[in-house]
Chains A and B, each alone.
Chain A
Amino acid sequence: MKEHVYDCTYLSEEDFETEQVLFETWVPQARYAWDAGIAIGRYLAELKAGRLVGVHCPSCGRILVPPRMFCQDCFVSTDGFVPLQDTGTVITFSICHIRWDMVRLEHPLIPAVIAIDGASPGMGILHLLGEVDPKAVRIGMRVQAVWKPPEEREGAITDIRYFKPLE
């Protein structure tokens, strides 16, 4: 305590345990429904149908995925949806041992960015890898989407369960 400069009584562990330290708590209720709009709306509808789509930029000619109504490089409106394969190549990945809420995972999640076949180079979607030994995952690995059965799809990114190695 000597390094502190304030002339006061410092809190002890006991102060916390006996609730001598006061808190004000509040649980926020923050709920949102984001308008999907044209690009995301079509993307989600196609996912529900078991398909991946991208969009075409008339200026640079690239096929962009996930879809957007503008090319961020050219600043022009994209001019149409393009069907894509549900296969691709791992651009990068991590083996993640903790869930988003800091719970340690027995079986790690493998988030990966996957360049989708049919889209322009470097255009990938972020998803998970599955049915694979984490030690076997490599940059450049060829993978394919594993879809939920049609009756379970709801127009969400999770309509794809994960991508698994192609073989």
Chain B
Amino acid sequence: MLREVAIVGAGWSGFRSISPDLSYKEMMYEAAVRAYEDAGIDPRRDVDSFVTVAEDFMEGTSIFDEYTPDQLGGALRPNHTITGDGIHGLAAAVMQILTGQFDLVVVEAHSKASNVLTFPHILAYAMDPVYNRPLAFHPYAIAGMEMRRYLAETATPLEACARVVVKNRANALFNPLAAHGANISVEAVLGSDMVAEPLTRLQCADHADGAIVLVVADGATARALTDRPIWIRGIGWANDTHTLESRPWGEASYAYLAAQMAYRTAGIKSPRAEIDFAEIDDTFAYKELQHLEALGFCRPGEAGLWTLEGGTEINGEFPVNPSGGSLGMGHLLDGSGLARVLEVIFQLRGEAGRHQVKDAEVGMAFAWRGVPTTSGAAVILSN
């Protein structure tokens, strides 16, 4: 990259199934106060630009961008508002810093999923209105179809998907921020209500409410602010075709391309050898396996067996979602990617407590925007 870029502050509010005690503004404010205290900055004096990520249909307000500045300290300042995952927002912040015009940029994303009373309708509204929506199946069937194809192409057993759920929800028990920690069995996962075959209820991440704020800086500013910056070594993003009729259903091409872009920037040739752990999208259990393969941490068909052998557990060879992932922490809509980044920061700082990974020096966070999208973003961080 043209300049060094680091994360110098991180804050959060949540994460819980419901949060009636805080408005979304109060939730964002709480996360922002934590992040600025962590970075040791005054947003009214020090921050050059604010990047926020939100989707109007999830907020219930058109042009929601208008409602983000005040609670971040961003009123009367440059604000850059985008739709996308939080890691897309982080990419926007990195690009702003790379221009040389901005030295300190704030990124925010949040979820008030509990406030969306007709969530299935909003999700269905994401389907193509002419070709797909009139067929009237729940969009989770897209995950069901993708899962079936992925399992068939890679000969991955169903049990491996269930083990992802068991692992992530158990990891979440050690994470005080997680909303959905649980001790459950493979049998319970596979025996839970069928949603869209072969996908069962417990293989789908439940939502949570919460907010995450990160403070991002160029190298010189980062070193001046802290003696433990978390460096952004590479960041990448990619989309596949939106058409459901012509996707490569078995593999996550968007994840492969996003990761390759990030690896190129970071100079990473062998991800499994050079990266110590990963926080990657697990909106549906099979997605963790499919993404692990697409991101190059193992070959197609290996992720399931690797998981069954325990290789991706906190004390395994390559810990995956030590935070509990979206299955354990709760899915934060477009805040999900920053929840993954937040955990990577904790791990690299050695602040993860009971879910701390040993010798964590380089970590990856990867986000996917959920069905029906093929929108992915990856970031590689180091201490």
A residues sitting closer than 8 Å to B (CB atoms) are: 24, 26, 28-41, 68-70, 72-75, 77
Tell me if B44 counts as interface (CB < 8 A to partner A): yes
Is B21 within 8 A of A38, CB to CB? Answer: yes
- Do the beta carbons of B70 and A30 come within 8 Å of each other? no
A selection of 23 A-B contacts at a CB cut-off of 8 Å is: A24-B133, A28-B122, A29-B118, A29-B121, A31-B118, A32-B60, A32-B117, A34-B23, A34-B115, A35-B19, A35-B20, A37-B21, A37-B24, A37-B27, A38-B21, A38-B23, A40-B23, A41-B23, A70-B70, A72-B69, A72-B75, A73-B44, A77-B33
Among B27, B29, B36, B116: residue with most chain A CB under 10 A: B29
Given contacts A24-B130, A75-B43, contact A69 B26 (CB under 8 A): yes
**CA distance in complex: A141, B328 (Å):** 57
Closest chain-A Cβ to B145's Cβ sits at a distance in Å of: 22
User: Is B117 a contact of A31 with CB atoms below 8 Å?
Assistant: yes
- Is the CB–CB distance between A38 and B26 below 8 Å? yes
Nearest first, the 4 A-B pairs at minimum CB distance are: A37-B23, A32-B60, A72-B70, A75-B73
Q: Report chain A residues within 8 Å CB of B44.
A: 73-75
**Cα–Cα distance between A41 and B23 once the two chains are bound (Å):** 9
CA distance A33 to B353 in the complex (A): 35
Smallest Cβ-Cβ distance to A69: which chain B residue = B26
Task: Determine the interface band of chain B, counting residues with CB < 8 A from chain A.
Answer: 35 or more
A126 vs B95: C-alpha distance when bound (angstroms): 39
The answer to whether A28 touches B121 (Cβ under 8 A) is: yes
Q: A30-B125, A35-B112 are in contact. List 7 more A-B contacts (CB 8 A).
A: A24-B134, A37-B22, A37-B24, A68-B70, A70-B29, A72-B75, A77-B33
**B187 close to A (CB within 8 Å):** no
List of B residues within 8 angstroms of A72 by Cβ:
69-71, 73, 75
CB distance from A73 to the nearest CB of B (A): 7
Interface residues, chain B, with chain A CB atoms under 8 Å away: 19-27, 29, 33, 36, 42-44, 57, 60, 69-71, 73, 75, 112, 114-118, 121-122, 125, 129-130, 133-134
* CB–CB A73/B75 < 8 A: yes
A33 & B125 in contact (Cβ 8 Å cutoff):
no
Known: A70-B29, A72-B75. A39 touches B23 (CB 8 A): yes
Q: Please name all residues of chain B whose beta carbon is closer than 8 Å to the beta carbon of A39 when the two chains form the complex.
A: 23, 25-26
- Please give the distance in Å from A164's CB to the nearest CB on chain B: 31
Measured in the bound complex, the distance between the Cα atoms of B29 and A29 in whole Å is 30
Alpha-carbon separation in the docked complex, A69 to B129 (Å): 41
CA A30 – CA B70 in complex, angstroms?
A: 26
Residue on A nearest B22 in the bound complex, by CB: A37
Among the listed A32, A33, A38, A68, which residue makes an inter-chain contact with B22, where contact means beta carbons less than 8 Å apart? Answer: A38
Residues of B within 8 A of A77 (CB): 29, 33
Whether the pair A30, B23 counts as a contact (CB closer than 8 A) is: no
| Most B CB within 10 A of own CB, among A26, A30, A38, A73 | A30
Separation of A69 and B60 alpha carbons in the complex (Å):
22
B23 surroundings in chain A (CB, below 8 A):
34-41
CA distance A69 to B23 in the complex (A): 10
Contacts of B43 in A (CB 8 A): 75
Q: With A31-B117, A31-B118, A39-B23 known to touch, is A26 a contact of B112 (CB < 8 Å)? A: no
What distance in Å separates the Cβ of B138 from its nearest Cβ neighbour in chain A?
14
Chain B neighbourhood of A41, CB < 8 A: 23
Complex: A77 Cα to B73 Cα, angstroms: 11
When chains A and B are docked, how far (Å) is the Cα of A10 from the Cα of B134? 28
Q: Are B21 and A30 in contact (CB-based, < 8 A)?
A: no
For A32, give the chain B residue with the smallest CB separation.
B60
Check B25–A28 contact: CB distance below 8 A. Answer: no
Expressed in whole angstroms, the Cα–Cα distance for A85 and B281 within the complex equals: 52
- Which residues of chain A are within 8 angstroms of B116 by Cβ–Cβ distance? 32
Q: Specify which of B20, B122, B130 is in contact with A30 (CB 8 Å cutoff).
A: B122
- Chain B residue nearest in CB terms to A75: B73
The answer to whether B42 and A68 have CB atoms under 8 Å apart is no
